[in-house]
A = this chain, B = another copy of it.
Amino acid sequence: MKRIGMLTSGGDCQALNAAMRGVVKTLVNDKQKVEIYGFLDGYKGLIYGNFRMLTGNDFSGILTKGGTILGSSRTPFKTIQDPDENGLDKVEAMKQNYHKLQLDCLVILGGNGTHKTANLLRQEGLNVVTLPKTIDNDLWGTDMTFGFQSAVNVATDAIDCIHTTAASHGRVFIVEVMGHKVGWLTLNAGMAGGADIILIPEIPYDIDKVIEKIEEREKNGSRFTIVAVAEGAISKEDAALSKKDYKKKLASKKYPSVSYEIADRILQKTGREVRVTVPGHTQRGGSPCPYDRVFASRLGAEAGKLILDGQYGFMVGYKNREIVKVPLEDVAGKLKMVSPDASIVKEAKLLGICFGD
C-alpha cells in the first residue's frame, strides 16, 4: 500500500488537473493499493492538515478542466520559514502532518516558489516528487512547463482580436502579456500573433527604437503597429538603475503597469495615442490545449512511475523531447530566461520583429 499526499501551489494554470489525473491513473492502474490525500489550497492544506481523501473517480473527466480541483494559494511562499500569525512553525507543521498520515511521499505541482519549498521539504527528509507547472515556462531543468502553451493560445487570441481592430482604425496597440520576470510567453504569443514589436525583460528596450519602428512602418504604408509587451519588460534606463532604485520606482506606481508607461512615453514623444489591452488572469484560465493535455499527462504518468519505483527527490521534466527526472536541488532557486542570443530571438529578428534593442 502506498499513501500519497498531493497538492497544487502558486498561481493556477491549465492542465494541473490533467497532470494529477496522469499521476493517479498510473498509480491506480498498478496492482498495489493506493491512498491519496489531496491537500487543499496548496501548502496551506499541508500546514493545517486540511485534506480530502481522493479516489480514481475524482480524477475522471478532469483532463480538459481548467484550474485545480485541489485549490491553490500563494500565501506561504515568501515566508515559509517564518512562523504564521499564531506562532506556528509552518515547516515543522508540514513535517508533522506528513508523518502523522504516514505518507510515503508528496506529489507537489507548482512553479518556482513552490519548488523552493519542495526542495526544503526534501532536505527535511520528506519524499517529494514535483511537476513543473507555470504559464511562464521559467523553471530551470525542463525545456517546457505545462500551462505555457495554453497561455500562449489565450494571449495569441487576444492579439488576434486586437489585430483586426488595430487594422481597421489604424492605431498603435499594446497587448500586455504575462510571464512574470521572463519573456517566453510574450515572445511566443507575439510571434504567433504577428506582433511588430516584442518587448521582453531579457532585452531591455530603448523607447526611441520602438518609436523608430512604428514610424518606419507608417512610412512603408502600414496603418497600424502591434506591440507585445511582457509584464516584466524593462527599459534600458530602468535596467541601468540599482535594484533598490528600480524597486523604489515600481513602488511609486505611477502607472498601473509597464505597458501604460510605454504608451505614455510614446504619447509624450510623438503625440500618438496608444491603446493598451491587458488580458491578465484570463491567460492562466480555461481548458488546457491538446498540447498541454498530452504533455501534462505524460509528466504525470512518469511521476506515478517514480513513486511506484520509490524514487524521490525529483522534478519530472522535459529535455530534448524526452521526459526526464531532475534532482530537486538542481531546480530550486533558478530561473530559465530567454537568452538574447537564442535562435528563436534571432529568427524573430530575421522576420523583422523589433525588440527595441
* In the complex, A333 has a CB within 8 A of chain B: no
Q: Which of A16, A152, A301, A343 has the most CB of B within 10 A?
A: A301
Residues of A within 8 A of B (CB): 8, 11-12, 14, 16, 22, 25-26, 28-29, 41, 63-68, 71-73, 143, 149, 152-154, 156-158, 160-165, 167-170, 173, 188-189, 191-194, 223, 256, 275, 277-286, 289-291, 293-294, 297-298, 300-302, 304-305, 320-323, 343-344, 347-348, 350-352
Report yes or no: B285 in contact with A351, Cβ–Cβ below 8 A. Answer: no
List 5 extra interface pairs beyond A191-B298, A291-B291, A323-B347, CB under 8 A.
Answer: A22-B351, A29-B350, A66-B163, A158-B279, A298-B344
Closest to A60 in B: B222
User: Which 10 A-B residue pairings sit nearest by Cβ, starting from the closest?
Assistant: A161-B285, A66-B164, A67-B164, A192-B290, A12-B168, A67-B168, A161-B282, A301-B350, A301-B347, A161-B286
Report yes or no: A305 in contact with B350, Cβ–Cβ below 8 A. Answer: yes
Tell me the minimal C-beta distance from A352 to chain B in angstroms.
5
Q: How far apart are the CA atoms of A351 and B18 in the complex, in Å? A: 11
Tell me the minimal C-beta distance from A174 to chain B in angstroms.
11
Contacts of A158 in B (CB 8 A): 279, 282
Q: How far apart are the CA atoms of A278 and B276 in the complex, in Å? A: 11
Q: How far apart are the CA atoms of A285 and B169 in the complex, in Å? A: 11
Closest to A284 in B: B165
Query: With A322-B343, A351-B301 known to touch, is A280 a contact of B278 (CB < 8 Å)?
Result: yes
Main secondary structure of the interface of A (DSSP, over half): helix
Contacts of A164 in B (CB 8 A): 12, 14, 65-67, 285-286
Q: How far apart are the CA atoms of A168 and B63 in the complex, in Å? A: 16
Query: With A194-B63, A305-B350 known to touch, is A143 a contact of B290 (CB < 8 Å)?
Result: no
Contacts of A154 in B (CB 8 A): 161
Report yes or no: B68 in contact with A282, Cβ–Cβ below 8 A. Answer: no
Report yes or no: B12 in contact with A165, Cβ–Cβ below 8 A. Answer: yes
Tell me the minimal C-beta distance from A31 to chain B in angstroms.
13
Report yes or no: B347 in contact with A72, Cβ–Cβ below 8 A. Answer: no
Q: How far apart are the CA atoms of A193 and B321 in the complex, in Å? A: 21
Report yes or no: B26 in contact with A189, Cβ–Cβ below 8 A. Answer: no
Contacts of A29 in B (CB 8 A): 350-352
Across the interface, A165 reaches (CB within 8 A) one of B149, B160, B285, B351, namely: B285
Report yes or no: B161 in contact with A72, Cβ–Cβ below 8 A. Answer: no
Report yes or no: B281 in contact with A279, Cβ–Cβ below 8 A. Answer: no
Q: How far apart are the CA atoms of A304 and B347 in the complex, in Å? A: 10
Contacts of A344 in B (CB 8 A): 294, 298
Q: How far apart are the CA atoms of A193 and B284 in the complex, in Å? A: 17
